[in-house]
Amino acid sequence: MIAINDDLQIKMFIGDTGSITLGISKNGTAYSFIVGDTVYFSVKKTLNQTTYDIQKTITTFSDGKAIILIEPDDTNELSTGNYFYDIEYVDGDGIVNTLVNEVERFVLLGGVKND
C-alpha cells in the first residue's frame, strides 16, 4: 500500500510494494519522458546522511511517464517514522530539474509483523 496526499506526503507500510506514476508539465504543456531522460527518487532519514536509504533511478518510461517502484526489500530493513525525499529529473542534455525537494513527507508505517 502506498498513499500520496495533496501535500505530497507519501505513506507506506514497511515491506509493502508500491508504485508512483510520475508525469510532469513543461510551460503548461504535458511532457513525455523520452530516451535519454533520467528520474531519481531519493529517500534519507536525515538530510546530513551521505548515503540514501532508498534511491531509484528510472530510465525507461511507460506512455511518457516514470514509474517509481518501491519493493519490499527497499523498506524491510528501515525503521518506521518520517524520512525526507526528493525527485529530480535530468533531461538528455544534462539539465537538472528538481521536482520535489527534500520534504520530510515520506512516512514508513509499521504493521503487526513490523512492530
Right CATH for 2-109 from 2.60.40.290, 1.10.10.10, 3.40.50.300, 2.60.40.10: 2.60.40.10
**pLDDT tens, 40-61?**
999 999 999 999 999 999 999 9
- Which pLDDT belongs to residue 111? 72
d(CA 39, CA 59): 7
Q: Which amino acid is at 26?
A: K
Residues in contact with 72: Cβ distance below 8 Å, sequence separation at least 6, in sequence order = 15, 16, 17
pLDDT band at 108 (very low <50, low <70, confident <90, very high): very high
Task: Report which of 115, 4, 109, 108 is spatially closest to residue 54, judged by C-alpha positions.
Answer: 108
pTM comes to 0.90
